[in-house]
Structure 1
Amino acid sequence: AMLASVLALMFPLVLEVIVGGPIASGDPGQIAWGAAAILALGLAEAAMVWARRWFVLAPSTRVEFELRTTFYRRLQRLPVAFHDRWQSGQLLSRMMQDISIIRRWLAFGLVLLVVNVLTIIVGAVLLFQWHWLLGVIFLV
């Protein structure tokens, strides 16, 4: 996920080189190389997003399975009086929904939270390096 964010942050760097070089000099052959670099970055970023989903999905599904199994075992050990007060179908439905939310948070929410915070920090540092005034405007 971090590699995908780093690749996304490289787009402005490549565009800066393209605008400052081939576009400024009017060399159409070099512009094609820049476009190919942008395309390659986009494909690499897409591959990294796919890899993140592939590698995060299995552990989060395993956690979901363990939580469901543990909850079901706990539900089976409860006294009969508990089951008289609560409909087991309603409990299982709520449990499935809540555990599914936990899985989605582990698989996507938590990962994206960390990656986005780091991307904002790195992006702000790059922005300050390029132009300090734009960096200040970004922070405000």
Structure 2
Amino acid sequence: GLVTPWLIQQVIDKTLEYGSISVVGLYAVGVVAVSLISGVLGFGQRYGMAHVVQGAMYDMRNTLYDHILHLPFSYHDRARTGQLISRITSDIDGVSRFFSFGLSSIISMTLTFLGASFLLFRMSWQLGLLGLAMVPPMAFTAVKGSSTLGPQFYRLRQQFGRITAQLQENYSGVRVVKAFAREDYEIAKFKRELEEFFQRRMGVVKVFALFMPVMSFLTWLGMLTVLTYGVWSVINGRLSVGQLVASQGYLMMLTGPIRM
């Protein structure tokens, strides 16, 4: 990905230098080749990581199931079956998603951030400083949003576990429910749990709805600042047009990991 802005820079600068678009074909082949190689490597990375993670999750589910079966009666008297089902299914799925996509994304985004910073400074230390100046406010916003979302996601998972528990208990004890004509009571109870889940889910959505526009504003403000300085540098002969365009690509890579 870091090569693509450089190739675009070369296409623009060489075309303006020679006054011909004959060089476009050569660099277009380069862009396609880089995209294909990146796609193949990305597939191999994701598939390999998923294979390892799914094997680990397989062992984890078996270990957890074995552990639950060997717990004493006193534990099962206190624990709700639905909560245990939620632990084996949705909680482990969350761990799987993190290691399948989250961990590899963290490594990839860190390398991209460092690479984009280096190339931006190499192009112009002023552009590099302006680009990095965007990082603290965006990082603060991201940390603030994450610290707010963390507890909300935890409560959301807890509520989902309660819903699963009630479903399991009602289905396994449906004869008792019908025998005592408790259908309406159980339906009302389930609706209350669903309403609680809905409210918690909307709380998460609200944080995202507030968080994303702020991040977008900071991103565009930073890009506009860098673009303004870049245009001034082009006019004064400090940068080429191709470098100006490439700087915007590197800037998106610089802020991309934070926006994610």
Q: Same fold (TM over 0.5)?
A: yes
Residue 61 of structure 1 pairs with residue 86 of structure 2: no
**Quick one: which amino acid aligns to residue 29 of structure 1?**
S
Report the CA distance between 1:89 and its aligned residue. 3.9
Does structure 2 retain, via aligned residues, the 8 Å contact 1:14–1:37?
yes
Structure with larger Rg: 2
Residue 29 of structure 1 pairs with residue 13 of structure 2: no
Amino-acid identity (%): 26
CA distance in 2 between partners of 1:32 and 1:23 (Å):
15
Q: How does 1:4-83 map to 2 (within 5 A)?
A: 8-83=1-76
Computed over aligned residues only, the root mean square deviation of the Cα atoms, in angstroms, reads: 1.4
Structure 1 segments unaligned to the other structure (5+ residues): 1-7
Partner of 2:174: none
Question: TM-score, with normalisation over the residues of structure 1?
Answer: 0.87
Does structure 2 retain, via aligned residues, the 8 Å contact 1:23–1:31?
no
Between 80-89 and 70-79, the greater mean CA deviation after superposition: 80-89
Report the CA distance between 1:36 and its aligned residue. 1.6
Count of matched residue pairs? 133
Secondary structure at the counterpart of residue 78 of structure 1: coil
Question: TM-score, with normalisation over the residues of structure 2?
Answer: 0.49
Structure 2 segments unaligned to the other structure (5+ residues): 134-260
Does structure 1 retain, via aligned residues, the 8 Å contact 2:57–2:92?
yes
Does structure 1 retain, via aligned residues, the 8 Å contact 2:65–2:88?
no
Q: Which runs of 4+ in 1 moved over 4 A?
A: none
Between 64-73 and 85-94, the greater mean CA deviation after superposition: 85-94
Report the CA distance between 1:85 and its aligned residue. 2.3
Partner of 1:106: 99
Does structure 1 retain, via aligned residues, the 8 Å contact 2:50–2:100?
yes
RCO higher in structure (CA 8 A, sep ≥6): 2
Report the CA distance between 1:39 and its aligned residue. 1.6
